[in-house]
Structure 1
Protein backbone atom coordinates (compact mmCIF):
# COMPACT_ATOMS: atom_id res chain seq x y z
CA UNK A 1 0.00 0.00 0.00
CA UNK A 2 1.25 3.46 -0.93
CA UNK A 3 2.15 5.73 1.99
CA UNK A 4 1.36 9.41 1.67
CA UNK A 5 3.18 11.98 3.77
CA UNK A 6 1.10 14.45 5.77
CA UNK A 7 0.25 17.52 3.73
CA UNK A 8 2.22 20.56 4.79
CA UNK A 9 1.85 22.66 1.68
CA UNK A 10 -0.37 23.13 -1.32
CA UNK A 11 2.41 21.90 -3.56
CA UNK A 12 2.81 18.70 -1.48
CA UNK A 13 -0.95 18.07 -1.58
CA UNK A 14 -1.00 18.47 -5.37
CA UNK A 15 1.94 16.08 -5.61
CA UNK A 16 0.17 13.52 -3.39
CA UNK A 17 -2.98 13.78 -5.51
CA UNK A 18 -1.08 13.28 -8.76
CA UNK A 19 0.83 10.33 -7.27
CA UNK A 20 -2.37 8.72 -6.00
CA UNK A 21 -4.07 9.28 -9.35
CA UNK A 22 -1.10 7.66 -11.11
CA UNK A 23 -1.35 4.57 -8.93
CA UNK A 24 -5.11 4.39 -9.46
CA UNK A 25 -4.60 4.78 -13.23
CA UNK A 26 -2.16 1.84 -13.26
CA UNK A 27 -4.68 -0.35 -11.46
CA UNK A 28 -7.84 0.88 -13.19
CA UNK A 29 -6.71 2.30 -16.55
CA UNK A 30 -10.05 2.22 -18.37
CA UNK A 31 -11.98 3.83 -15.53
CA UNK A 32 -9.30 6.50 -15.06
CA UNK A 33 -9.28 7.19 -18.81
CA UNK A 34 -13.06 7.59 -18.96
CA UNK A 35 -13.12 9.77 -15.85
CA UNK A 36 -10.37 12.01 -17.27
CA UNK A 37 -12.22 12.34 -20.59
CA UNK A 38 -15.41 13.24 -18.74
CA UNK A 39 -13.80 15.90 -16.55
CA UNK A 40 -11.86 17.37 -19.49
CA UNK A 41 -15.14 17.74 -21.35
CA UNK A 42 -16.78 19.35 -18.31
CA UNK A 43 -14.00 21.92 -17.85
CA UNK A 44 -13.38 22.87 -21.48
CA UNK A 45 -14.20 26.35 -22.71
CA UNK A 46 -17.86 26.75 -23.57
CA UNK A 47 -20.58 29.25 -22.82
CA UNK A 48 -18.91 29.44 -19.41
CA UNK A 49 -15.20 30.19 -19.48
CA UNK A 50 -12.68 27.80 -17.96
CA UNK A 51 -12.09 30.41 -15.25
CA UNK A 52 -15.79 30.50 -14.37
CA UNK A 53 -15.90 26.71 -14.26
CA UNK A 54 -12.89 26.63 -11.92
CA UNK A 55 -14.56 29.19 -9.64
CA UNK A 56 -17.71 27.04 -9.54
CA UNK A 57 -15.63 23.94 -8.78
CA UNK A 58 -13.83 25.80 -6.00
CA UNK A 59 -17.13 26.77 -4.42
CA UNK A 60 -18.38 23.18 -4.57
CA UNK A 61 -15.07 21.94 -3.12
CA UNK A 62 -15.28 24.35 -0.22
CA UNK A 63 -18.90 23.46 0.44
CA UNK A 64 -18.11 19.73 0.42
CA UNK A 65 -15.02 20.20 2.66
CA UNK A 66 -12.72 18.40 0.18
CA UNK A 67 -9.25 19.73 0.95
CA UNK A 68 -7.52 18.20 -2.07
CA UNK A 69 -10.15 19.66 -4.41
CA UNK A 70 -10.00 23.02 -2.65
CA UNK A 71 -6.26 23.16 -3.32
CA UNK A 72 -6.59 21.78 -6.87
CA UNK A 73 -9.33 24.22 -7.87
CA UNK A 74 -7.72 27.22 -6.14
CA UNK A 75 -4.72 26.49 -8.36
CA UNK A 76 -7.08 26.05 -11.33
CA UNK A 77 -8.63 29.44 -10.62
CA UNK A 78 -5.23 31.11 -10.48
CA UNK A 79 -4.03 29.25 -13.59
CA UNK A 80 -7.10 30.48 -15.48
CA UNK A 81 -6.40 34.06 -14.47
CA UNK A 82 -8.84 34.51 -11.61
CA UNK A 83 -7.95 37.38 -9.34
CA UNK A 84 -7.78 37.06 -5.58
CA UNK A 85 -10.94 39.19 -5.42
CA UNK A 86 -12.84 36.81 -7.73
CA UNK A 87 -11.75 33.85 -5.60
CA UNK A 88 -12.77 35.64 -2.39
CA UNK A 89 -16.18 36.52 -3.86
CA UNK A 90 -16.60 32.83 -4.67
CA UNK A 91 -15.74 32.12 -1.03
CA UNK A 92 -18.43 34.56 0.08
CA UNK A 93 -21.13 32.93 -2.04
CA UNK A 94 -20.07 29.50 -0.80
CA UNK A 95 -20.15 30.68 2.82
CA UNK A 96 -23.70 31.94 2.26
CA UNK A 97 -24.68 28.32 1.64
CA UNK A 98 -22.14 26.46 3.75
CA UNK A 99 -21.93 28.73 6.78
CA UNK A 100 -19.07 28.53 9.24
CA UNK A 101 -17.65 25.27 7.89
CA UNK A 102 -17.22 26.77 4.44
CA UNK A 103 -15.86 30.00 5.86
CA UNK A 104 -13.29 28.19 8.02
CA UNK A 105 -11.89 26.36 4.97
CA UNK A 106 -11.81 29.62 3.06
CA UNK A 107 -10.10 31.85 5.60
CA UNK A 108 -7.43 29.23 6.15
CA UNK A 109 -6.79 26.81 3.30
CA UNK A 110 -7.91 28.94 0.33
CA UNK A 111 -5.96 32.00 1.48
CA UNK A 112 -2.88 29.86 2.25
CA UNK A 113 -3.09 28.35 -1.24
CA UNK A 114 -3.41 31.73 -2.94
CA UNK A 115 -0.34 33.01 -1.10
CA UNK A 116 1.74 29.88 -1.63
CA UNK A 117 0.81 29.28 -5.26
CA UNK A 118 1.39 32.92 -6.18
CA UNK A 119 4.86 32.71 -4.57
CA UNK A 120 5.65 29.63 -6.68
CA UNK A 121 4.90 31.63 -9.85
CA UNK A 122 7.52 34.25 -9.01
Structure 2
Protein backbone atom coordinates (compact mmCIF):
# COMPACT_ATOMS: atom_id res chain seq x y z
CA UNK A 1 0.00 0.00 0.00
CA UNK A 2 1.14 3.54 -0.60
CA UNK A 3 1.15 5.00 2.90
CA UNK A 4 2.16 1.99 4.95
CA UNK A 5 2.68 -1.72 4.49
CA UNK A 6 -0.04 -3.88 6.03
CA UNK A 7 -0.17 -7.53 6.85
CA UNK A 8 -3.86 -7.70 6.08
CA UNK A 9 -6.66 -5.79 4.49
CA UNK A 10 -8.36 -5.69 7.90
CA UNK A 11 -5.35 -3.77 9.27
CA UNK A 12 -5.73 -1.25 6.44
CA UNK A 13 -9.43 -0.85 7.26
CA UNK A 14 -8.55 -0.29 10.92
CA UNK A 15 -5.92 2.29 9.94
CA UNK A 16 -8.53 4.12 7.86
CA UNK A 17 -11.04 4.08 10.72
CA UNK A 18 -8.45 5.46 13.15
CA UNK A 19 -7.54 8.23 10.71
CA UNK A 20 -11.19 9.07 10.18
CA UNK A 21 -11.71 9.26 13.94
CA UNK A 22 -8.79 11.67 14.35
CA UNK A 23 -10.01 13.78 11.43
CA UNK A 24 -13.53 13.85 12.91
CA UNK A 25 -12.19 15.16 16.22
CA UNK A 26 -10.32 17.96 14.44
CA UNK A 27 -13.02 18.92 11.90
CA UNK A 28 -16.31 17.49 13.20
CA UNK A 29 -18.65 19.54 10.99
CA UNK A 30 -16.82 18.63 7.78
CA UNK A 31 -16.66 14.96 8.78
CA UNK A 32 -20.35 14.94 9.73
CA UNK A 33 -21.37 16.57 6.47
CA UNK A 34 -19.20 14.26 4.37
CA UNK A 35 -20.48 11.17 6.19
CA UNK A 36 -24.11 12.25 5.79
CA UNK A 37 -23.56 12.87 2.08
CA UNK A 38 -21.88 9.51 1.44
CA UNK A 39 -24.47 7.64 3.51
CA UNK A 40 -27.23 9.21 1.40
CA UNK A 41 -25.40 8.26 -1.80
CA UNK A 42 -25.25 4.61 -0.77
CA UNK A 43 -28.87 4.26 0.35
CA UNK A 44 -31.13 1.86 -1.52
CA UNK A 45 -32.77 3.61 -4.46
CA UNK A 46 -33.19 2.91 -8.15
CA UNK A 47 -29.84 1.13 -7.73
CA UNK A 48 -29.43 -1.41 -4.97
CA UNK A 49 -26.84 -0.98 -2.24
CA UNK A 50 -24.93 -3.86 -3.81
CA UNK A 51 -24.90 -2.20 -7.23
CA UNK A 52 -23.68 1.04 -5.69
CA UNK A 53 -20.84 -0.76 -3.90
CA UNK A 54 -19.84 -2.47 -7.15
CA UNK A 55 -19.78 0.91 -8.92
CA UNK A 56 -17.70 2.39 -6.09
CA UNK A 57 -15.26 -0.50 -6.35
CA UNK A 58 -14.85 0.10 -10.07
CA UNK A 59 -14.21 3.80 -9.49
CA UNK A 60 -11.76 3.00 -6.70
CA UNK A 61 -9.78 0.77 -9.03
CA UNK A 62 -9.84 3.30 -11.87
CA UNK A 63 -8.57 6.06 -9.56
CA UNK A 64 -5.99 3.81 -7.88
CA UNK A 65 -7.36 4.49 -4.38
CA UNK A 66 -6.21 1.51 -2.33
CA UNK A 67 -8.11 2.38 0.85
CA UNK A 68 -11.35 2.77 -1.10
CA UNK A 69 -10.63 -0.41 -3.04
CA UNK A 70 -10.42 -2.32 0.24
CA UNK A 71 -13.37 -0.49 1.79
CA UNK A 72 -15.64 -1.05 -1.21
CA UNK A 73 -14.57 -4.66 -1.75
CA UNK A 74 -15.73 -5.19 1.83
CA UNK A 75 -18.89 -3.21 1.02
CA UNK A 76 -19.55 -5.49 -1.94
CA UNK A 77 -19.16 -8.55 0.26
CA UNK A 78 -21.32 -7.00 3.00
CA UNK A 79 -24.09 -6.39 0.43
CA UNK A 80 -23.97 -9.99 -0.79
CA UNK A 81 -21.96 -9.59 -3.99
CA UNK A 82 -20.45 -12.82 -5.23
CA UNK A 83 -16.80 -13.21 -6.11
CA UNK A 84 -17.85 -13.42 -9.76
CA UNK A 85 -19.74 -10.11 -9.57
CA UNK A 86 -16.76 -8.44 -7.89
CA UNK A 87 -14.29 -9.79 -10.43
CA UNK A 88 -16.52 -8.76 -13.37
CA UNK A 89 -16.60 -5.27 -11.87
CA UNK A 90 -12.80 -5.38 -11.81
CA UNK A 91 -12.83 -6.38 -15.48
CA UNK A 92 -14.99 -3.40 -16.41
CA UNK A 93 -12.71 -1.07 -14.42
CA UNK A 94 -9.68 -2.55 -16.20
CA UNK A 95 -11.38 -2.03 -19.58
CA UNK A 96 -11.79 1.62 -18.65
CA UNK A 97 -8.60 2.31 -16.70
CA UNK A 98 -6.26 -0.24 -18.26
CA UNK A 99 -3.41 -2.04 -16.59
CA UNK A 100 -3.39 0.09 -13.44
CA UNK A 101 -6.89 -1.11 -12.49
CA UNK A 102 -6.09 -4.67 -13.53
CA UNK A 103 -2.99 -4.76 -11.31
CA UNK A 104 -5.13 -3.88 -8.28
CA UNK A 105 -7.81 -6.39 -9.30
CA UNK A 106 -5.41 -9.31 -9.54
CA UNK A 107 -3.71 -8.48 -6.25
CA UNK A 108 -5.50 -6.28 -3.72
CA UNK A 109 -9.11 -7.17 -4.56
CA UNK A 110 -8.44 -10.91 -4.53
CA UNK A 111 -6.57 -10.54 -1.21
CA UNK A 112 -9.58 -8.66 0.20
CA UNK A 113 -12.00 -11.35 -0.96
CA UNK A 114 -9.82 -14.10 0.52
CA UNK A 115 -9.46 -12.35 3.87
CA UNK A 116 -12.84 -10.68 4.26
CA UNK A 117 -15.20 -13.23 2.67
CA UNK A 118 -14.55 -15.65 5.52
CA UNK A 119 -16.24 -13.11 7.82
CA UNK A 120 -19.56 -13.41 5.95
- The residue aligned with 1:36 is 35
Match for residue 90 of structure 1?
A: 89
Q: Which runs of 5+ in 1 are unaligned?
A: none
How far apart, in 2, do the equivalents of 1:18 and 1:115 lie?
21
CA apart distance, 1:6: 3.1
Moved more, 72-81 or 93-102: 93-102
| 2:73 matches 1:71 | no
What is the DSSP-based 3-state SS (H/G/I as helix, E as strand, rest coil) of the residue aligned with 1:65? coil
What SS does the corresponding residue of 1:62 show, helix, strand or coil? helix
TM-score by length of 2: 0.95
* Cα displacement string for residues 6-32 of structure 1 (whole angstroms, at most 9, x for unaligned residues): 322110000000000000000000000
CA RMSD, 1 decimal: 1.2
Rounded to whole Å, the distance in 2 between the matches of 1:59 and 1:50 is 14
Residue 118 (structure 1) shift: 1.4
Structure 1 residue 5: Cα displacement: 5.9
Residue 101 of structure 1 and its aligned partner are, at CA, apart by 0.7
Runs of 4+ in 1 over 2 A off after TM superposition: none
State how far apart, in whole Å, the 2-side matches of 1:86 and 1:65 are.
Answer: 20
Cα distance, 1:5–1:62 mapped onto 2, change above 3 Å? closer
Runs of 5+ unmatched residues, structure 2: none
